């Protein structure tokens, strides 16, 4: 019933990650993810970027930029889930 990209075995976790991305990533990338101090994170902006590079950017940050490493707050699974959602078009709110 729910749309495929957001489907998950753990809706509680998903809701937490959706809030984190919209609200906290949103403080630099914009709540609509259209960009701000950080670049846009909408599908069109990410299309040509290899999946492992995007995961590494979230996990390890980008030295020399304002992008922090999120590995102290997010597991590898969570980072991968977020990147998959971003590439597909990030959910507005939990299902």
Partner 1 sequence: MIRRAASGAVPIALLAWLLLAQGCAQPQLRGTGDLGLVVERASGSVQVVETSAQTVLGTVSGLGDLSHASAVFSRDGRYAYVFGRDGGLSKVDLLQRRLVRRIQQAGNSIGGAISQDGRMVVAQNYEPGGIKAFDAATLELIADVPANYGSDGRSSKVVGLVDLPANRFAYALFDAGEIRITDLSDPAQPRTSAYSAGLQPYDGLVTPDGRYYLAGLFGEDSVALLDLWHPEAGVRKVLVGYGRGEERLPVFKMPHLRGWAVAGHRAYLPAVGRHEVLVVDTETWQEVGRIAVRGQPVFVIARPDGRQIWVNFALPDNDWVQVFDTDTGLGVTTLTPGRAVLHLEFTPRGEQVWISARDDDRVLVYDTRTLRQLASLSAQSPSGILFTARANRIGF
Q: What 3-state DSSP class applies to 40?
A: coil
Which of 2, 3, 7, 27 binds partner 1 (CB under 8 A)? It is: 27
| Residues 83/54, Cβ–Cβ less than 8 Å | yes
Supply the minimum distance, in Å, between the C-beta of residue 59 and partner 1.
11
Q: Is 23 a residue that touches partner 1 (CB under 8 A)?
A: yes
Q: CB neighbours of 70 closer than 8 A, spacing ≥ 6?
A: 58, 59, 61, 79
71's tokens: 């590995």
Q: Which stretch binds partner 1 (CB under 8 A): 1-9, 48-56, 62-70, 81-89?
A: 62-70
Question: What is the nearest approach in angstroms of partner 1 to the Cβ of residue 54?
Answer: 17
């Amino acid at each position: 019933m729910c749309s495929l990209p957001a489907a998950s075995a753990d809706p509680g976790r998903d809701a937490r990650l959706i809030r984190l991305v919209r609200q906290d990533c949103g403080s630099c990338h914009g709540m609509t993810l259209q960009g701000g101090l950080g670049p846009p994170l909408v599908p069109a902006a990410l299309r040509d970027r290899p999946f492992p590079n995007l995961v590494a950017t979230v996990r390890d940050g980008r030295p020399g930029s304002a992008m922090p490493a999120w590995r102290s707050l997010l597991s590898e699974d969570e980072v991968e889930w977020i990147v998959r959602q971003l590439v597909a078009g990030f959910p507005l709110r939990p299902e």
